[in-house]
Amino acid sequence: MKKLIIAVDFDGTLCIGNNYPDIGNPRMWLIDTLKALRNDGDKLILWTCRSNSSIPDMGFNNAHDLDDAVEWCRQFGLEFDAVNENLNESKYPGVKLSRKIYADIYIDDKACLFIDEEENLAILGTEKTTGFSTIVKLFRMGA
């Protein structure tokens, strides 16, 4: 069975709402699904705009935002194989080809709309777990 590389966004995806720099409540069904996929051997990449950069003269001070997001995920047992970068096996040593992360599946609130209080995904069907499972199965088959 093909193992997948899955890139997942943080704000609005793993946590509910886009209240940056605050962190919303956990989207537990997605966190639990990703933990199970990683336990089965799939690779996870946290792919977020959060960083640990600080430019005080420009009023840009998010010195720990990325670390905070990673630690928040760990509190729910969610670990990543890479954070804001490609997996080691996806890299060309010493060559920076692109800022884009390589993955088989990208999960982002800007691409998958969480539309109701039951967290149903509009583009994956009416039931979140079945819809997400169908996407994973298609990718594993090489679709």
Q: What is the pLDDT of residue 138?
A: 61
pLDDT for 45-68, tens place per residue? 999 988 877 666 655 566 678 999
- What DSSP letter does each residue of 5-66 carry, written as one string? EEEE-TBTTTBSS--TTS---B-HHHHHHHHHHHHTT-EEEE--S----EEGGGTEE-TTHH
Low-confidence ranges of the chain (pLDDT < 50): 113-117, 122-127, 143
Structural domain boundaries of the chain? 5-140
Q: What is the pLDDT of residue 42?
A: 94
Q: What is the pLDDT of residue 51?
A: 83
The CATH superfamily of 5-140 is HAD superfamily/HAD-like (3.40.50.1000)
Q: What is the pLDDT of residue 125?
A: 41
